[in-house]
Amino acid sequence: MSRNIIVFDTTLRDGEQAPGCGMNVREKLEVAKKLEKLGVDVIEAGFPASSSGDLDSVKAIAGMVKNCTVAGLCRCGEADVDAAREALTHAESPRLHVFLATSPIHLEYKLKMTPEAALEQAVAAVKYAKKFCNDVEFSAEDAFRSDPDFVRAIFGAVIEAGALTVNFPDTVGYALPGEFGERVRSIRERTPGMEKARFSVHCHNDLGLAVANSIAAIQNGADQVECTINGIGERAGNASLEEIVMALRVRKDFFGAETRIDATQIYAASRLVSQVTGVKVQPNKAVVGENAFAHEAGIHQHGVLANPATYEIMTPESIGIPKNRMVLGKHSGKHALADRLADLGLSVDTETLEKVFVAFKDLSDKKKAVSDRDLEALAMDTIQIPETWKLDHWAVNTGSALGASGTIRLVHKDGSARKLVTLGDGPIDAIFLAINHIIGKSPELELYEIGAITGGSASQGETMVKIALNGRRWNGRAVSTDVVESSIKAYLAAINAMEWDLAGGRG
């Protein structure tokens, strides 16, 4: 009989914490919906004590998710536990995840604490959390670089205090698979009371070994793996969910372990996370990269045509890449659109389908063939924050002799309208400056990236922007067959996310 491995997804916490991976609450809700559909066991929705925005998004996710446990991270202190329990009040199955560093370097330089005091604090926090929630997880941050005897002692003590899961992170991605596996086994086998709790691992990818280490841990008895979609996370990222899941699935013969994951949702989850964070998946990334199933060499193509198993150890369909690459056009109806969206793992409600259909009709008037990527982009446009500023119209003038100017008219949600003409260092600069003047704020433009969704000059331009103001960051993305328009819309999407946040999520 094969063992079930618990998949603890931390895309919305450790993943979101990574620079450039911020998501707004709407985007987080979409990702949480997708994770639920994917069948993860636990969604770590955020770190509620870290900001009111994080608390609100954990609350919103906890109120929506029905089929998985929702976890909130907290440091070992009552205020943090209180914030997390408040955020999880409406969760069907809540988990309080408390953590404390255990390595000598963290204890001495970060916490300025003795090991004895750390053990006491961890036990007190678990006992406090346990008053409100049966499902408590304790993580020993930087556990791999900690004294194994101390990790056993602290794990034994927190299990005694009621922790149902103990997590052994390789916080800095320092471990090598063989030694990590051995360490997991020796800690598991020699921790008092370990039979009453689950053993979890949480690996970072600084040496590119996060998945290998997680797999080594599973081979050595770990019950839970903590991971993220596309492997996003602090620095080089966390262990990638899709790689762990597919390794266990493809080599079931070897591991005798499986997960509850519906692998056919993997591709859609990967695309969604990439779209909402604006972080592209590297083309040669295992499982979900654009080239993961591309066969360039003639000899490979010949083999795959004769029998896909010659060069493919899993099929594209097994991770949800639709087989039928039929493109839609101006004569396609709403049913065809809904079917195609469902094939892409983008199931939308009736109201959203109406919106996507209107945008699809508009696009198919401009473009003969509407591709999967176009549809994905149209569906993404429906998960934006309510608009404080709506685009009414715009115009740009540019040329080598003239310099550039931009004109824009925006309508505020209170109904008032403002129009401005500005000169700039190029048309985009002119128009972004005009927007800044109108809204009365000058966020820093940290990223402005423009690309074509598909090939050809009729392709839609997709723009991604990241802006920052007073240390906070917001993303915006948009598509249009006109690149200036996609730039304006992306900038405005980021501005609207900023306005909404600055108004406390009530803009």
Point out which residues pair with 74 in neighbouring strands: 98
| Shortest distance in whole angstroms from residue 14 CB to ligand KIV | 5
According to DSSP, the β-strands at 257-258 and 3-4 are parallel
Tell me, residue by residue from 262 to 301, as one string, x for binding to ligand KIV by CB under 6 A and - for no binding: ----------------------------------------
Show the binding pattern over residues 454-493: x = contacts ligand KIV (CB under 6 A), - = does not: ----------------------------------------
DSSP 495: H
Residue 167 or residue 332: which is nearer to ligand KIV going by CB? 167
- Which CB sits closer to ligand KIV, 51 or 436? 51
Nearer to ligand KIV among residue 7 and residue 479 (C-beta) = 7
Using alpha carbons only, how large is the chain's radius of gyration in Å?
24
Nearer to Zn ion, 197 or 201 (CB): 201
The 10 Å CB-count burial string (b at 16+, else e) for 419-446 is ebebebeebbbbbbbbbbebbeeebebe
Does the protein bind ligand KIV through residue 340 (CB under 6 A)? no
Please report how close the Cβ of residue 141 comes to Zn ion at its closest, in angstroms: 8
Q: Please, what is the Cα angle at 189 between 107 and 13, to 5 degrees?
A: 50
Residue 135 found at the interface with ligand KIV (CB under 6 A): no
Residue 9 within binding range of ligand KIV, rule CB under 6 A: no
Question: What is the rounded distance in angstroms from the CA atom of residue 498 to the CA atom of residue 507?
Answer: 9
**Per CB under 5 A, 223 contacts Zn ion:** no
Of 158-217, binders to ligand KIV (CB under 6 A) are 167, 169, 171, 202, 204
Give the per-residue contact string, 60-99, with ligand KIV (x = CB under 6 A; - = no).
Answer: ---------------------------------------x
Q: What x-and-dash track marks residues 137-166 binding ligand KIV by CB under 6 A? A: --x-x-------------------------
| CA within 13 Å, CB half, 482 | 8
16 touches ligand KIV by CB under 6 A? no
Q: How many binding residues for Zn ion (CB under 5 A)?
A: 1
**How many helices (DSSP H) and strands (DSSP E) are in the chain?**
17, 16
Angle between helices 350-366 and 372-380 (to 10 degrees): 130
Smallest distance, ligand KIV to C-beta of residue 32, A: 19
Reported in sequence order, the residue ranges of 47-121 that DSSP labels E, i.e. its strands, are: 69-75, 94-101
Nearest distance, CB of residue 167 and ligand KIV, angstroms: 6
Cβ closest to ligand KIV, residue 115 vs residue 308: 115
Q: How many CB atoms lie within 10 A of CB 373?
A: 17
CB 185 within 8 A of CB 150: no
Residues contacting 408, CB < 8 A, separation 6+? 391, 393, 394, 419, 420, 431, 434, 435, 438, 488
Name which of residues 2 to 41 contact Zn ion (CB under 5 A): 14
44 sits near Zn ion (criterion: CB under 5 A)? no
Q: Which does 99 bind (CB under 5 to 8 A by kind): ligand KIV, Zn ion, none?
A: ligand KIV
- Give least dist CB 133 to ligand KIV, A: 17
Cα separation, 166 vs 193, in Å, equals 11
According to DSSP, residue 193 is labeled: T
The smaller minimum CB distance to ligand KIV, of residues 144 and 474, is found at: 144
> How far apart (Å, rounded) are the C-alpha atoms in residues 474 and 88?
25
Residue 34 interacts with ligand KIV (CB under 6 A)? no
Contact in structure between 46 and 73 (CB atoms under 8 Å):
yes
Task: State residue 63 phi and psi, 5-degree precision.
Answer: -75, -20
Residue 465 CB, shortest distance to ligand KIV, in Å, is 28
Could you tell me which residues come within 8 angstroms of residue 1 by beta carbon, excluding any fewer than 6 positions away?
none
Least CB distance from residue 253 to ligand KIV, whole Å?
Answer: 32
Question: What minimum distance in Å lies between the beta carbon of 237 and ligand KIV?
Answer: 11
What, of ligand KIV, Zn ion, none, does residue 139 touch, CB below 5 to 8 Å by kind?
Answer: ligand KIV
Among residues 43 and 337, whose Cβ is nearest to ligand KIV?
Answer: 43
Nearest of 229, 214, 313 to residue 38 by alpha carbon: 229
Q: Output the CA–CA distances (angstroms, integers) from residue 365 to 44, 238, 451, in the order listed.
A: 42, 43, 21
Cα 202-42-71 angle, rounded to 5 deg:
85
Residues near Zn ion (CB under 5 A): 14
Residues near ligand KIV (CB under 6 A): 14, 99, 139, 141, 167, 169, 171, 202, 204
